[in-house]
Structure 1
Amino acid sequence: MKWRGTRESDNVEDRRSVSGGKVAVGGGIIGIIILLLNVFGGENAQLITPVLEQLQGGQQTQTEAAAPLSKEDEEMGHFVRAVLARTEDTWDKIFKEHGMTYKKPKLVLFRGSVQTSCGGATAASGPFYCPADQKVYMDLGFFEELKTKFGAKGGDFAIAYVIAHEIGHHVQTLLGTSAKMHHDQQGKSKAAANKLSVALELQADFYAGVWAHDNQEYIEEGDIDEALSAANAVGDDAIQSKMQGQVVPDSFTHGTSEQRMYWFKKGFKSGDIDQGTTFEEI
C-alpha cells in the first residue's frame, strides 16, 4: 500500500510503551478460543476476555512496562496513522454526501493488555471496537497470529483491511445500526441472534471494501489479495473446521469465508454504502 508521505491521523493513542498488567502467558486453548470468538470486530471481545481468563487460573502473570518502541514499531505506528487518516477522509466525505457529520474515532495501539470503557481485554481478543468510548483497540502482534495460525498471506494491506473493518463498526454505531441490531436480538433464539451478528460483521466487511474503493490511488498490486486472504482465513467455517474439525452454521457470528470475501469485494466494486444490504440478505 502506498502510504509514505501521506497525511497521518492525530487520533491514534500509542500505548505500546506503557502497556502492562495481567496477560495470558503462552496463549493456551483459552487464548485461542478468545481470539476465534472475537477476531475482526467482535464488539463483545473485551467483555468475554476477562471471564475466560479466570478459567486459566494460574496462567496469569503481572508484566512489567513494555519495552521501548523499536524502529520497526515506530514505522508501523506511522502506517496505522496513515491508514486511519485515509478512513477519516473517506467517511467524512461519504457522511457529508448524505447530509451527516462524521465523528472521528480514536485508535489505540497496545501491547499485552488494555483497559477500555467496555472492560479489560488482552491481546488474545484480537482487534476490536468499543462502542462505549468509540475507540478501536489493536495489538499489532495479532497479525503475526493471523499468518501463523490461520494461514493468511499477511502484508500491510491485511492490516489496513482490519482497521477499515473496525472503523466500519464505528460507522454502524454512528448510524444506529449496531443499536438496532442489539435491540432486534432480544427475545430471539441463539441461532437467530447469531444471524443478526453475522449481518453486522459482513456489513463491516462491506464498509471496508467501500473504503478500499475510495482509496484505489494508494492500492498496489497484490493488496486486495492480501485483504481477501485475511477475510478467508477468519471465516467462521474455516476457523471451526481447523480448530474443531466440524462446522456448526448456527453458531456462526461473523460469516463464512465466502461471505466475508463476497461482501468486501462488493463494497470494493460498488463504493456505494447503500448496497451494504447484509441484513436483508442473511
Structure 2
Amino acid sequence: MTRKERPNSGWTRVALLVSVALSCFLIAVGRSDIRDGSAPRTVTEAGVTPLAAIVSIPLRSVESFFGGLSDRASAYEDNQALKEELALLRERQARYENLAMKVARYESILGVDTQTDIPLKKIAARAVAETDGPFVRSLLINVGRDDGVSIGNPVMSADGLIGHIINLGPDSARVLRLSDLNSRIPVASARSGATAILAGDNNVRPKLSFISQRVDWEIGDRVISSGDDGALPRGLAVGEVVRGEEGGLRVRLASRAHPLDWVWVSPFQPISAPSETDSPEGEPS
C-alpha cells in the first residue's frame, strides 16, 4: 500500500530545487567575478568594507576592555606586593631606630668614643717619584713644614694609605712607601680585628708578619691601619690580603690601584709618652 504524501511536500521540493539552483548561480557568478574582476564584485566589496569596519569597532572595544582588565589585575597584584614590602621596611626602620637609640644610650653611659681618629683636615700635595734618594720606594711631595706637615704624618691617595712622612723641609717632604724595606706599620683585619705587622720588602705586595690569631686572617680580608703604635690613626685603608708566592700572606696595596699624582697629608697628632717631669709629687720619678 502506497504511503500517503503530506500536503506541503510539493512546496518543499520546489523550495529545495530553487535553493540548489540559486546556490549554483551564485557560485558561478563568484568564479566569473574572480576571473574578470567585474563591476558587481567591486561594488559589493566597496559596500561590505565600511560595514565590516563599523562592526569591528565594538569588537575592538570589547577586546580592549578585557585587555585593560588583565592589566589592572596585574597592577593590583604588584601594588599589593609593594605595600607589603613597604610595611616590612617600615617595621625594620623602626627596629633599627630603636636599636640606634639604645646603642647611643649605652655609649653615653659607658663613655665610649666611637668616632674615628682620622683627621678631617687634609693637606693636598703633588707627588713625584724619587729615583736617587736613600730609599728604594719613596716619594717627594711639594708641601712641608710651612704647610703644617709633621714627621710621621700619614700620606693618602684616593684609594688608600701610601706611607708616612720621614723627612721634612720647609716646602717639601719625603714619603716612605709601605712597600719599602724600611717600612713597618701595625695593621688589622677589618673583618675579624686580628692584628699583624705590614712589613715592606721592596715588593709591590708587602708581607704580613707577626700575625696574631692566624686563623682569623683570610684571603680577601680588607686590611686597615690598627693604630696600635700611636703613630698612625686607626681605620686607614691599606689593601686586601692575598696569597704570596712563597705561601705566606701578603697585601695588595689599595694605593697601587691607580698611578699616583695628587695625594694628601693628614696632620695626625701621634700619642706622645708622658715625660718624667709629669709624675705627681711624692712619687718616685
The TM-score bracket by the shorter chain reads under 0.3
Q: Which has the higher strand share?
A: 2
Higher helix share: 1
Return the TM-score normalized by structure 2. 0.19
Which is greater in Rg?
A: 2
Higher RCO (C-alpha 8 Å, min separation 6): 1
